[in-house]
Amino acid sequence: MRKNNKKDYIKGFLALIGAATILSFYGLTIRLQSESFTSYGQLFFRTAIALILILIIIAVKRNWKVPKSERKWLIAFGVGNTIYPFLFTISVLNINAANSVMMLYVGGILAAFLIGSVFLREKITKLKLIGALLAFIGLAVFAFPFDIRGAALVGIGAGLIAGVFDAASNALRKYITETPREVMLAISFGTLVVIVGSVISLTSVQAVESSPVQVPSYIAMIVHSVCMITGGYLLIYGFRHFDVNAGTIVLSSEIFISLAVNYFVLSESPSVNEVIGALIIFSASGAIALSVAEKKQSF
């Protein structure tokens, strides 16, 4: 694990803001893909495209050396990055999407603080705690009213555990420093393709909708695949140069950005709760930005 100076933290912070911005467009591209592909189908095909593209990049750069000391952590990284999307999907199927997002980030932020302080020796400062508190309040306001149905406990549990796996993956992004980013992405994409492909092959799950495949769906899928690579680069760079606990709070700003994207692109008007909650969540990133600027609150 590398030591970073203040300039590195600023670069890491900006990289994570960039990653959050890219993540905020996923909802738009997924909607377009849903016109022609099922959830499993679009997950498989867009990840397969991303895998092919990243393998081409690796072949061109000829940079695929992996230190022996990091190989086991790479396997854990690939598995963790595959498990958390499945758990999040289970959560969405049992509670509404807003509540699932809340559980994902609540579990992720709590796990990030625990993993960061225990395993990565990250400091817990006042501004970080303020940022976490603002994020929790914003998430609660954003997700209100809470979805309490018969299977709510399953959805809540799956969402929280998904957040834990996401935080663990981010911690590994920071811990794995010698392996090229392209190789990390290839392992992550490859693991997901194998598992989702196996699910589609061994079950009756469909990959393509019965309706004819629409051209916009293809375009959205390719754009999403490129975003997976770009966002993946930014996430690895960001967490290698930033704290996992603070970085997870920064990533939650995608909620605010996605509302803006949906409003300006899809003309969707968010509810008052969503606007207020998203603004509070975004202010949490402001607290983290202050912690970077303040020398006394150094990481």
Res 151: pLDDT: 58
Among 54, 36, 31, 39, which Cα is nearest to 196's? 39
* DSSP track, 45-61: HHHHHHHHHHHHHHHHH
Convert the pLDDT of each residue in 16-63 to its tens digit: 999 999 999 998 898 899 889 988 899 999 999 999 999 999 999 988
Tracing tokens 């990289």 back to the chain, one arrives at 15
Res 2: pLDDT: 62
Strand partners, 126: none
In single-letter form, the type of residue at position 19 comes to: A
Give the three-state DSSP class for 189.
Answer: helix
H/E segment holding residue 261: helix 254-266
* Burial of residue 154, with CB atoms counted within 10 A of its CB: 0-12 exposed, 13-18 middle, 19 or more buried: middle
What is the distance between the alpha carbons of residues 144 and 146, in angstroms, rounded to a whole number? Answer: 5
Strand partners, 208: 37
Q: Cβ(184)–Cβ(176) under 8 Å?
A: yes
- Distance from the first to the final alpha carbon of the chain: 15
What is the distance between the alpha carbons of residues 203 and 1, in angstroms, rounded to a whole number? Answer: 41
Domain annotation covers residue 123:
yes
* Tokens, residue 1: 């694990």
* Tokens, residue 289: 């930005």
* Tokens, residue 128: 């970080």
Tell me the CB-side half-sphere exposure of residue 84, using CA atoms within 13 A: 24
What phi and psi, each to the nearest 5 degrees, are found at residue 180?
-60, 145
Res 214: pLDDT: 83
Give the three-state DSSP class for 264.
Answer: helix
Domain annotation covers residue 1:
no
Q: Which residues of the chain have pLDDT under 50?
A: 296-299
Q: Cβ(96)–Cβ(149) under 8 Å?
A: no
Give residue 67's Cα distance to chain centre: 26
What is the distance between the alpha carbons of residues 237 and 248, in angstroms, rounded to a whole number? Answer: 14
Domain annotation covers residue 226:
yes
Contacts of 1 (CB under 8 A, 6+ apart): 120, 174, 175, 177
Q: Cβ(82)–Cβ(195) under 8 Å?
A: yes
Domain that holds residue 64: 6-293
Domain annotation covers residue 299:
no
Domain annotation covers residue 224:
yes
pTM for the full predicted model: 0.91
Res 15: pLDDT: 97
Among 196, 232, 254, 222, which Cα is nearest to 38's? 196
Domain annotation covers residue 101:
yes
Domain annotation covers residue 298:
no
Res 148: pLDDT: 65
Q: Total structural domains in the chain?
A: 1
Contacts of 265 (CB under 8 A, 6+ apart): 28
What phi and psi, each to the nearest 5 degrees, are found at residue 294?
-80, 120
Convert the pLDDT of each residue in 264-294 to its tens digit: 988 888 999 999 999 999 999 999 999 887 7
Look at the alpha carbons of 20, 17, 217, 58 in this order and tell me if their dihedral is positive or negative.
Answer: negative
